[in-house]
Amino acid sequence: MKKVKIITDSNSGILQSEASEYGIIVVPMPFIINSEEYFEEISLDQKKFYKMLEDPNANVSTSQPSNLYLTDLWDTVLQDYDEIVYIPMSSGLSASCENAKSAAEKYEGKVQVVNNQRISVTQKESVLEAIELANRGKSAKEIKDYLEESKMISSIYIMVDTLKYLKKGGRVTPAGAALGALLRIKPVLLIRGQKLDSFFKALSPRAAKAKMISQIKDELENEFKEYYEAGKMVVDVAHTNNYLEAENFKKEIEEKIPGVKVQHVDPLSLSVSCHIGPGSLAIAVSVKNY
């Protein structure tokens, strides 16, 4: 049986301390803040990130691991392992996945880069599945194929607390942001597949949360019914610097969807947080066959 090492990036929300427990490697995502480079959870923790993000004079942008960094890491890992499964963030949200695939070509199949178009808690669930599959003796190629085949059996809905950061990133016009602030609109975004899309505009946080729960309940009972009835769907909650509300949201979900237990309550990836700002809440659902 080949020894397979699972590697992901910090967009999965998996902490460096958790990585040690899981026996995996988490690549820290780089950020450029006021022309200086920082690395998630290495030189940039959640508290420091949000302090900088909320500074009106700070220029915060996302970056990606260099191919040299990745290939050096892979070369080191392959001294002790036969194969690698690398699970980066969705190719629709960053070029890092495609760049990693290009870098992996010279490894003749020993490094399998997974494009299962997930991020944050759904990416984390993919990593946990990959660990289980590796423990069962599956090859890196078999793990990659499974994760890519099941990629669309997942959704993330995110309630955005402020339009400020969507405006800054050009995802909403200044006029639209001003009107939204005036009407106190809470947009709900959807991540499924490659894109971050607008899904619903609510007039209050209560309405936004109710809509997200209703949508997930509908998906579990219809589109994902086969997996849900087999006990193979996982529900998670995520947030951007909004932990107490996220815990309350978890309780609300479990009350409104009988039989559902929220697996994780995690911070959203800083790469997502950079574009939507603090105060957001998210609910995610994904398949877990193993």
On whether both 188 and 145 belong to a single domain, the answer is: no
The per-residue pLDDT for range 133-157, each reduced to its tens digit, is: 999 999 999 999 999 999 999 999 9
| pLDDT band at residue 162 under the 50/70/90 scheme | confident
Q: Do 8 and 143 belong together in one domain? A: yes
Are 11 and 138 contained in the same domain? yes
For residues 130 and 163, state if they share a domain: no
Residue 112 sits in the same domain as residue 186: no
Residue 264 pLDDT more than 60?
yes
Same-domain status, 222 and 107: no
With a cut of 70, say whether residue 168 has pLDDT above it: no
Q: Does residue 23 register a pLDDT over 50?
A: yes
> Same structural domain for residues 280 and 161?
yes
The CATH number assigned to the domain holding 216 equals 3.30.1180.10
163 and 248 share one domain = yes
**58 touches 36 (CB < 8 A):** no
Last residue of a domain, one of 114, 149, 184: 149
pLDDT of residue 173 exceeding 60, the answer is no
Mean pLDDT, rounded, of the chain = 89
Residue range 208-237, pLDDT digits in tens? 999 999 999 999 999 999 999 999 999 999
Per-residue pLDDT at 163: 64
Whether residue 36 lies inside any domain: the answer is: no
> Does some domain include residue 48?
no
Q: How far is CA 106 from CA 96, 102, 103, 140, in A?
A: 17, 8, 7, 16
* pLDDT for res 92: 62
Residue 37 domain-assigned (yes or no)? no
- Among 149, 183, 207, the domain boundary falls at 149
How would residue 116 be classed by pLDDT, with cut points 50, 70 and 90? confident
| 33-92 residue pLDDT tens | 999 999 999 999 999 999 999 898 888 888 889 999 999 999 999 999 999 999 998 766
Q: Examine residue 50 and state whether it is found in any structural domain, yes or no.
A: no
Domain assignment present for 206: yes
pLDDT of 180 strictly over 50: no
Model pLDDT, residue 62: 87
* Single residue among 149, 179, 194 that ends a domain in this structure: 149
Q: Are residues 217 and 83 in the same domain?
A: no
What is the span of the domain harbouring residue 249?
154-287
CA distances from 261 to 42, 234, 237, 252, 257 (A): 32, 8, 11, 11, 9
Q: What is the CATH number of the domain that holds 76?
A: 3.40.50.10440
Same domain, residue pair 136 and 23 = yes
Residue 115 lies in a domain: yes
78/163 same-domain check: no
| Sign of the torsion angle spanned by Cα atoms 75, 76, 77, 79 | positive
pLDDT at 94: 66
Total number of domains constituting the chain:
2
Side-chain-side CA neighbours of 214 within 13 Å: the count stands at 8
Question: CB–CB of 31/9 below 8 Å?
Answer: no
